[in-house]
Amino acid sequence: MNASGKAARIGVFGGAFDPPHNAHVALAEAALAQLDLAELHVIPTGQAWHKSRTLTPKEDRLAMTRLAFAGLQGTVVVDSREVLRDGPTYTLDTLHELQREQPGAQLVLIMGADQATALPSWHGWQDILRTAIVSVAYRALSTGDTARFDPKMLPGLPAGARFEALELPLMDTSATEVRRRAALGVDISSLVPPSVARYIDQHHLYRSA
Ligand code: ATP
């Protein structure tokens, strides 16, 4: 509970962060500004069961996530629980852990519209929607389209599921594009925070050879 007797709201923002980029940082800033969060947990995923690609080692993704989100105003916790967990990473397990740690808190799961549309493919997605409010930002796609989200698109939406819109200017940045440019040796400084660009360079990440 906070001083006004309302449940404290804990933001949960997960991702592969391979690497973290400017749209991730903007999304976190928008969440802190708009969602009345007591704290925001930024959680790099461990063994992401839904990503077909082999991810960059978790130590590098965690280090880059720490660098990317270091300068934000507000209580931001770069939370390593998923990279430390053995076996597959399930968001539902993370939400249950946070619930046990902060009983009475309201969890707010933050994601882009592409992920929200794919929610039915997530392990225990209906339980996720019973456990947390889902806050969704629109996402610009590489096709030039915009990924929008309407909860009515989800078949089997559980009763009581709650969604909140997150206003974020459309940004077409993606980790895929950062990796593509880095592999070609093309400048990535407009896509990632300077500290992340330095880390990628110093650790020779995403190079094709
Ligand atoms: P990749 O290109 O490798 O699939 P990504 O850029 O989507 O990666 P993730 O780490 O998978 O990055 O994304 C973490 C979260 O950030 C997801 O909820 C995703 O929807 C959201 N997100 C990433 N980029 C954007 C963007 N440009 N606009 C809005 N949301 C975004």
Domain map (residue ranges) of the chain: 9-173
Lowest mean pLDDT among 39-48, 143-152, 167-176: 143-152
Q: What is the pLDDT of residue 170?
A: 83
Residue nearest to atom 7 of ligand 1 (CA): 174
22, 52, 136, 161 from 180: Cα distances, Å: 16, 17, 26, 37
CATH number of 9-173: 3.40.50.620
Nearest to 38 by CA among 70, 7, 83: 7
Mutate which of 52, 114, 135, 176 for ligand 1 pocket (most atoms within 8 A of beta carbon): 114
CB 111 within 8 A of CB 75: no
- Cα distances from 103 to residues 3, 95, 108, 163, 182, in angstroms, run 16, 11, 14, 21, 43
Q: Which residues does a 6 A CB cutoff place in the pocket of ligand 1?
A: 15-18, 23-24, 27, 111-112, 114-115, 137, 139, 168, 171, 173-176
Q: Is the pLDDT of residue 139 over 80?
A: no
pLDDT bracket for residue 83 (50, 70, 90): very high
pLDDT of residue 78 exceeding 80: yes
Where does 125-183 show beta strands of DSSP type E? Answer: 132-137, 139-140, 146-147, 163-166
* pLDDT given for residue 53 in this prediction: 81
Question: Residue 19: what pLDDT?
Answer: 98
pLDDT classification of 50: cutoffs 50, 70, 90: low
Q: What is the largest CA-CA distance in the chain?
A: 57
Coil/strand/helix, residue 11: strand
